[in-house]
Amino acid sequence: MDEKGLIRRAQFGDKKALDDLIEIYYDEVYSFLYRRTGDKSTAEDITQSTFIKFIQRLPYYKEKSKLKSFIFTIAINTANDYHRARKREPFLHYENENYVETVQDSLENKEKAFLVRKAIISLPDVQRDVLIMRFYHDMKIKEIASIQKVPLSTVKTRLKRAINTLKECEL
What does DSSP assign to residue 64?
T
Q: How far apart are CA 35 and CA 19, in angstroms?
A: 24
Per-domain residue ranges of the chain: 3-168
Q: Is the pTM of this model over 0.85?
A: no
Amino acid at the residue 55 = I
- Alpha carbons within 13 A on the beta-carbon side of 68: 15
**Coil, helix or strand for 13?**
coil
One DSSP character per residue, 93-153 reads -----------HHHHHHHHHHHHHHHHHHHS-HHHHHHHIIIIIS---HHHHHHHHT--HH
Per-residue pLDDT tens over the stretch 80-138: 999 888 764 444 444 444 434 444 555 666 777 788 888 888 899 999 999 999 998 88
Whether residue 155 contacts residue 144, with contact meaning beta carbons closer than 8 Å, is answered with: yes
Whether residue 78 contacts residue 49, with contact meaning beta carbons closer than 8 Å, is answered with: yes
Instruction: Note the pLDDT of residue 121.
Output: 87
- Alpha carbons within 13 A on the beta-carbon side of 162: 25
Q: Domain 3-168 belongs to what architecture?
A: Orthogonal Bundle (1.10)
Helix, strand, coil percent values for the chain (each to nearest 5): 75, 0, 25
Q: How far apart are CA 44 and CA 159, in angstroms?
A: 26
Per-residue pLDDT tens over the stretch 20-72: 999 999 999 999 999 998 889 999 999 999 999 999 999 999 887 789 999 99
- Alpha carbons within 13 A on the beta-carbon side of 159: 21
Q: How would you label 97-115 residue by residue, b for 16+ Cβ within 10 Å and e otherwise?
A: eeeeeeeeeeeeeeeeeee
